[in-house]
A and B are shown apart, each in its own frame.
Chain A
Amino acid sequence: DAGVIQSPRHEVTEMGQEVTLRCKPISGHDYLFWYRQTMMRGLELLIYFNNNVPIDDSGMPEDRFSAKMPNASFSTLKIQPSEPRDSAVYFCASSPGTSADTQYFGPGTRLTVL
């Protein structure tokens, strides 16, 4: 298996632009997680899905952020409009789903908002 795939790996954009990050989870995994990592705040869980349904989005910073999972093999995290404080590394992870199961992380997308 190729593991969790994220694209793009790097994104540089200007303030006010729309940004879309993409994730393909490992086939057969029921859970998908979106995280954000910064030096100041560490690793933060933004939202997670179970069987394509959003379960907990309490970590989404504000209405500028939205996430979708239209099918079991694809998810997007969208920021509109983007701001410099959104600059971070965004990780997607997937898991088979029980509490004993490992989460498998993608390589991350490094977002820079100028």
Chain B
Amino acid sequence: GDSVTQMEGPVTLSEEAFLTINCTYTATGYPSLFWYVQYPGEGLQLLLKATKADDKGSNKGFEATYRKETTSFHLEKGSVQVSDSAVYFCALSEGVGNTGKLIFGQGTTLQVKP
């Protein structure tokens, strides 16, 4: 079945460092891809998404490009801040059947130190 694999955390960076969190997927059909972020004590919220191959999603300085050839959707940010410390989840939608159901990766914890 469909699945998402993220790099294991925690990822610890200094402020202003470059961030990459790897995400690869296995899917049938043509899924949409998502990055969600969860700040401490809160629910998940959408960070960015891409709905077709070669689309780039971006928000708050974060970017990810839908790469069909490598089945990847890596999250990047050029300069992280302490306020970016959170858990990041990669997810894909079930393209077959258009169910609206999301398949989530296990989450990657990011810690940014001043």
**Interface of A with B (CB < 8 Å)?**
4, 30-31, 33, 42-43, 45, 48, 50, 55-56, 91, 93, 95-108
B94 pairs with A99, CB closer than 8 A = yes
Chain B contacts for A98, CB-based, 8 A = 98, 100
Shortest distance from the beta carbon of B62 to any chain A beta carbon, whole Å: 15
> Can you list 6 residue pairs at the A/B interface with Cβ under 8 Å?
A4-B43, A30-B100, A91-B44, A98-B98, A99-B95, A105-B43
Complex Cα distance, B93 from A33, in Å, reads 13
Given contacts A55-B99, A102-B34, contact A108 B43 (CB under 8 A): yes
* Nearest-CB residue, chain A, relative to B94: A99
Chain B residues bordering chain A, tally (CB within 8 A) = 23
Which residues of B pack against A, CB within 8 Å? 31-32, 34, 36, 42-46, 49, 51, 89, 93-95, 98-102, 104, 106-107
Cα A60 to Cα B60 in complex, Å, equals 35
A109 vs B100: C-alpha distance when bound (angstroms): 23
Q: List the B side residues contacting A100 at CB < 8 Å.
A: 32, 49, 51, 93
Q: Which of A42, A43, A95 contacts B100 (CB 8 A)?
A: A95
Of A45, A91, A93, A99, which is within 8 A of B98 by CB? A99
CB contact under 8 A between A99 and B42, given known A42-B107, A43-B107:
no
